Amino acid sequence: MIIGASGARPSRTADLERKLVHHCSPALAGLKPANMFVYRKGADAGENPDGSAALSAFDSTKFAHDLGICRKKLEPCGVRIEILARRKTGLLLYVYRPTMLREHLAQPEVFRYLQDEGYDPSDLSACIAKLHRRICGTDLAATLSGSCAFPHEIGFFLGYPYDDVVGFIENKGENSLCSGCWKVYSRARDAQACFCCYKTCTAAYEDLFDEGVPIDCLASIDENFPAQEAFAAAV
């Protein structure tokens, strides 16, 4: 039996888990390779609505502890969490499934594009490290080539379709057919169905988490998965 929430103020770790469920349910459910979001500790937790003072007083040691707990819960489920950047507004967290991400980056057209951008798609860890450097503006190769802007190839690392990522880059974000989780430049109907699937999954996962289903159960993809109704509703 699932035990309902007690109504007590959530712990810091529970707060992080709640945000992971809110922002990353499609990746947790195995519907896409990755999700990304900015974790605003103070503002999201309601400690300081404008986020300014809370972020300046951010306790990195406690957050590292909470992040470590979440990683221990999720890594056995095939989910990893990385900090891609540290901003004044918060931490850019990247939540991904390495197996799914490798498969996505191995698509011939994606592989070639990333190679042309200086990535080694055969080495996932090196790819993510380079993406981190490019986001933070510390990638020497990008700086020397004059291309040290926000790396829009990040769309590949989030599982977006090749045509949509390239279309966004070539059109500078304009002229899209529609938009949702990303801007769409081809197969709009398929993309809209995908957006609906992700939205349904997120709503189902949030309900299950609020009812007491642990985040590691939500991220477990096997025949004993206790939240099968979320999959049934989302796919």
Q: Which residues, 6+ apart, have CB-to-CB distance to 52 below 8 Å?
A: none
Rounded to two decimals, the pTM is: 0.84
Local mean pLDDT, 10-residue blocks, the chain (235 residues): 42 87 97 95 49 50 92 97 89 96 98 97 97 82 58 96 98 97 97 96 95 94 57 53
Q: What is the pLDDT of residue 56?
A: 43
Q: Where are the beta strands (DSSP E) in 49-146?
A: 80-87, 90-96
Token pair for 221: 């993809």
Q: What is the pLDDT of residue 61?
A: 84
In 3D space, the residue among 156, 9, 23, 161 whose CA is nearest the CA of residue 91 turns out to be 23
Contact between 73 and 216 under an 8 Å Cβ cutoff? The reply is yes
Count the neighbouring beta carbons within 10 Å of the beta carbon of residue 162. 17
